[in-house]
């Protein structure tokens, strides 16, 4: 019998996030406080569930068009138009399987093998994985603590080469919680227009801003250059429904829609009915979720007060980076040791990029008391390690 041929090298060498390793270890241990999980703890609001179930009972069990149900696309277009104070036509909207589906579709709509894409450091690990699968080269731009975890326009400009096809940004940011100010966003949009690049703007946390405002990349009129990725997961506590949307440049909406066919065919029809329920229902639920995360953000800030562990006060999303450099270990070692010694699970910063190894990420997506106890455990662990390091040095 002939030797089996080699399976995909590209798939086999896809960069994988260390978060899975921490989660697997945490699952084997008792009484762990989970600060590593990046999803809202609330259940999807009942009216959304009811609408989806009612629709399924009435027959919404068939394929939807590649671009999504017309009714849902119209609702998303209406929401985007009112937020952006400009008309967004429904034929620019593609309904996707989660915001990840929007990221995948926008990147695959513009990338060819060999293209370069500027992605953030720190940034969500899936950006690098998508570039890898598209055969494109991710080039990291820095978002250091010294700039409040924001990019620098001059640096972005200096990284552009003839091979650059797109810039990917994320605001409010995972894992930083940073929110891009208006002038920076405008500058980035002008930069992509000047160089004829595409901008993929991941705005999945758009509803979770506590200080300042969310500024969308779509606000500056560069429709031909800009994709907006967003969805239902974080705003409506709908992570498991796998439902997102993409606002496309007019000329690329059909391509983005056609990319659904060989990947998922379409977002799940029952989930799309749930999405309609979310957009038609009382938006107070979104404000309530935001208020909950705001309160928890303040609890985290309070629990770390008087230390140098919190580099910035996160203005949005539901994450904070915690500076663990004083422990004198890599972020992965810190995450493992904090789990084993202090029963608190966090994500090593190295997961988010090479410049982030001095931090771990915590998510404030659990109830208040457990959250405060988890941060207390992490603080205590760091204080002990720092003292041990100083004693060892003396």
Ligand X SMILES: Cc1ncc(COP(=O)(O)O)c(C=O)c1O
Binding site for ligand X (CB under 6 A): 38, 98-100, 124, 170, 174, 202, 204, 231, 233, 239, 244
| Residues pairing with 166 in the sheet | 117, 198
Rounded least distance, CB 27 to ligand X, Å: 19
Q: Which is nearer to ligand X, 274 or 342 (CB)?
A: 274
Q: Which is nearer to ligand X, 68 or 244 (CB)?
A: 244
In the numeric block, the tokens 């919680």 are attached to 177
For the sheet with 244-247, list strands across it. Answer: 93-96, 244-247, 226-231, 198-202, 164-170, 116-121, 137-142
- What DSSP designation does 316 have? B
In the numeric block, the tokens 């994320």 are attached to 170
Closest CA to 230 of 195, 193, 279: 279
Break the chain down into helix, strand, coil percent, rounded to 5: 50, 15, 40
Q: Which is nearer to ligand X, 270 or 381 (CB)?
A: 270
Cα 267 from Cα 249, distance rounded (Å): 20
Closest CA to 313 of 329, 302, 326, 324: 302
Rounded least distance, CB 392 to ligand X, Å: 37
| Under 8 Å between Cβ of 243 and 275 | yes
Rounded least distance, CB 208 to ligand X, Å: 11
Q: Which is nearer to ligand X, 225 or 271 (CB)?
A: 271
Rounded least distance, CB 125 to ligand X, Å: 10
| Under 8 Å between Cβ of 39 and 365 | yes
Q: Which is nearer to ligand X, 170 or 292 (CB)?
A: 170
Rounded least distance, CB 103 to ligand X, Å: 6
- What DSSP designation does 231 have? E
| Under 8 Å between Cβ of 179 and 171 | yes
Rounded least distance, CB 124 to ligand X, Å: 4
Rounded least distance, CB 312 to ligand X, Å: 17
Cα 49 from Cα 66, distance rounded (Å): 23
Closest CA to 322 of 279, 375, 281: 375
Please report which helix (H) or strand (E) contains residue 393, including its range: helix 368-393
Q: Which is nearer to ligand X, 105 or 372 (CB)?
A: 105
- Residue 373, C-beta contacts closer than 8 angstroms, at least 6 positions apart: 33
Rounded least distance, CB 40 to ligand X, Å: 10
Give the DSSP letter string of 118-155: EEEES--THHHHHHHHTT-EEEEEE--GGGTS---HHH
The residue at minimum Cβ distance from ligand X is: 98
Rounded least distance, CB 222 to ligand X, Å: 21
Q: Which is nearer to ligand X, 79 or 193 (CB)?
A: 79
Q: Which is nearer to ligand X, 126 or 330 (CB)?
A: 126
Q: Which is nearer to ligand X, 174 or 356 (CB)?
A: 174
């Amino acid at each position: 019998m002939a030797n089996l041929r080699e399976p995909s090298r590209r798939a086999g060498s896809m960069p994988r996030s260390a978060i899975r390793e921490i989660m697997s270890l945490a699952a084997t241990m008792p009484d762990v406080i989970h600060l590593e999980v990046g999803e809202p703890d609330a259940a999807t609001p009942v009216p959304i569930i009811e609408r989806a179930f009612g629709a399924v009972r009435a027959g919404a069990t068939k394929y939807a068009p590649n671009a999504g149900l017309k009714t849902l696309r119209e609702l998303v277009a209406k929401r985007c138009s009112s937020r952006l104070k400009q008309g967004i036509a429904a034929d620019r909207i593609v309904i996707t399987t989660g915001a990840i589906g929007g990221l995948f579709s926008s990147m695959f709509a513009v990338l060819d093998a060999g293209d370069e894409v500027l992605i953030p450091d720190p940034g969500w690990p899936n950006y690098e994985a998508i570039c890898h699968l598209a055969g494109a080269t991710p080039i990291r731009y820095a978002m250091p603590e010294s700039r409040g975890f924001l990019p620098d326009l001059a640096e972005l400009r200096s990284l552009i080469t003839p091979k650059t096809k797109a810039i990917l940004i994320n605001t409010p940011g995972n894992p930083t919680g940073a929110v891009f100010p208006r002038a920076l966003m405008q500058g980035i949009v002008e930069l992509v227009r000047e160089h004829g690049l595409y901008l993929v703007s991941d705005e999945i946390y758009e509803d979770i801003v506590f200080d300042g405002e969310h500024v969308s990349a779509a606000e500056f009129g560069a429709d031909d250059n800009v994709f907006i990725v967003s969805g239902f997961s974080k705003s409506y506590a709908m992570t498991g429904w796998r439902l997102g949307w993409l606002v496309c440049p007019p000329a690329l909406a059909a391509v983005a829609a056609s990319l659904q066919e060989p990947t998922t065919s379409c977002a799940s029809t029952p989930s799309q009915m749930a999405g309609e329920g979310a957009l038609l229902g009382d938006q107070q639920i979104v404000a309530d979720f935001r208020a909950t995360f705001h309160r928890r953000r303040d609890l985290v800030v309070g629990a770390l007060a008087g230390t140098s562990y919190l580099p910035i006060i996160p203005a949005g999303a539901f994450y904070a980076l915690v500076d663990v450099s004083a422990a004198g270990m890599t972020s992965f070692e810190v995450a493992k040791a904090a789990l084993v010694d202090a029963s608190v699970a966090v994500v090593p910063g190295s997961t988010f990029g090479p410049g982030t190894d001095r931090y771990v990420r915590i998510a404030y997506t659990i109830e208040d008391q457990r959250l405060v106890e988890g941060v207390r455990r992490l603080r205590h662990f760091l204080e002990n390690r720092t003292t041990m390091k100083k004693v060892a040095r003396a």
